[in-house]
């Protein structure tokens, strides 16, 4: 019963309050009819485009009674805010560290809606190559993950110095907690302090974000240069070579 004047806009509120960590799918359908109740003269016939049948309602005489706009909506629940994981290494050194992350409220894949895999993250820089998580039944869990950065500048600093690989997955079916163990390699070339976010998505539904802080401390002193004075008000010169790490 909403009346709209020409060029007028209407906002359609959509509330999402998930009860479980799984994919939710709905359709918002807008049905528009003329205010005076008349039909549009266009007739939908058997030869008409098949998509047209889905987008119009037809009166008994074959004329167009109403026009439909259909908007599919996929809802992905997101886990609660997690504490930051700090990874610290001295510049020009290499750190290899195991990081254990807990995913709360994971649903078995068999309880997810059909085509759940379609809403998984695309173009991930890092993805799962290890066997699926299983509890001994037919239900399996697959995860996708990627590192996200706040800016391109931070990405350029961390891309070449950070590597992540998913090593192990463990699923406690009673508590519905999945434990993911990542191997993190951090090899900074200079001192820095940057933040990144590890985003983990389950193909059965659910999104978890883990803040990471990468800290590279000052490197060790390369060498000590001693300059011996040859006399007062006289110059002493010492030469040494520097090698660039990049082009």
- Which DSSP string do the residues of 172-210 spell out, in sequence order? ETTTTEEEEEEEEEE--SS-EEEEEEEEEEETTS-EEEE
Summary count for the chain: helices (H), strands (E): 2, 14
Pull the structure tokens for residue 232: 């007062």
Q: What is the mean pLDDT of residues 24-50?
A: 83
Distance CA 175, CA 102 (A): 11
Global pTM value: 0.68
SS3 69: strand
**Local confidence band at 165 (pLDDT 50, 70, 90 cut-offs):** very high
Q: Strand 126-127 relative to strand 192-202: parallel, antiparallel, unpaired?
A: unpaired
Q: Which domains does the chain have, with CATH numbers?
A: 24-75 (no CATH), 77-107+141-222 (2.60.40.2310)
Between 5 and 127, the higher pLDDT residue: 5
In the numeric block, the tokens 């009674």 are attached to: 65
Provide the 3-class DSSP secondary structure of residue 203: coil
pLDDT grade, residue 191 (50/70/90)?
very high
Give the CB-side neighbour count of residue 126, counting CA atoms within 13 A: 20
pLDDT given for residue 49 in this prediction: 67
Average pLDDT, integer, range 123-143: 49
pLDDT tens-place string over residues 82-112: 999 999 999 999 999 999 999 988 877 554 4
The answer on pLDDT for 129 being more than 60 is no
Q: Is the pLDDT at 216 greater than 80, yes or no?
A: yes
For 14-69, the three-class secondary structure string (H helix, E strand, C coil) is CCCCCCCECCEEEEEEEEECCCCCCCEEEECCCCCCHHHHHHEEECCCCEEEEEEE
């Amino acid at each position: 019963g909403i009346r709209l004047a020409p060029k007028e806009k209407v906002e359609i509120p959509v509330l999402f309050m998930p009860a479980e960590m799984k994919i939710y799918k709905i359709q918002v359908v807008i049905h528009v009819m003329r205010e005076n109740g008349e039909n549009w003269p266009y007739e939908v016939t058997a030869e008409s485009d098949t998509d047209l049948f889905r987008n119009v309602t037809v009166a008994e005489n074959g004329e167009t009674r109403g026009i439909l706009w259909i908007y599919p909506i996929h809802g992905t629940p997101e886990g609660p805010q997690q504490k930051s994981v700090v990874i610290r290494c001295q510049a020009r050194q290499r750190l290899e560290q195991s990081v254990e992350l807990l995913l709360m409220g994971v649903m078995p894949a068999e309880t997810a809606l059909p085509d759940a895999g379609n809403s998984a993250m695309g173009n991930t820089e890092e993805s799962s190559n290890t066997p699926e998580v299983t509890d001994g039944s037919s239900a399996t869990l697959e995860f996708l993950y990627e590192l996200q950065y706040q800016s391109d500048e931070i990405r350029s600093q961390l891309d070449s110095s950070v590597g992540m690989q998913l090593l192990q997955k463990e699923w406690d079916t009673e508590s519905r907690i999945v434990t993911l163990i990542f191997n993190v390699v951090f090899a900074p070339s200079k001192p820095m302090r940057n933040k990144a976010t590890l985003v983990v998505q389950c193909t059965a539904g659910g999104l978890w974000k883990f803040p990471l802080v990468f800290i590279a401390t000052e490197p060790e002193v390369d060498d000590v240069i001693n300059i011996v004075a040859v006399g007062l008000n006289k110059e002493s010169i010492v030469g040494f070579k520097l090698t660039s790490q990049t082009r």
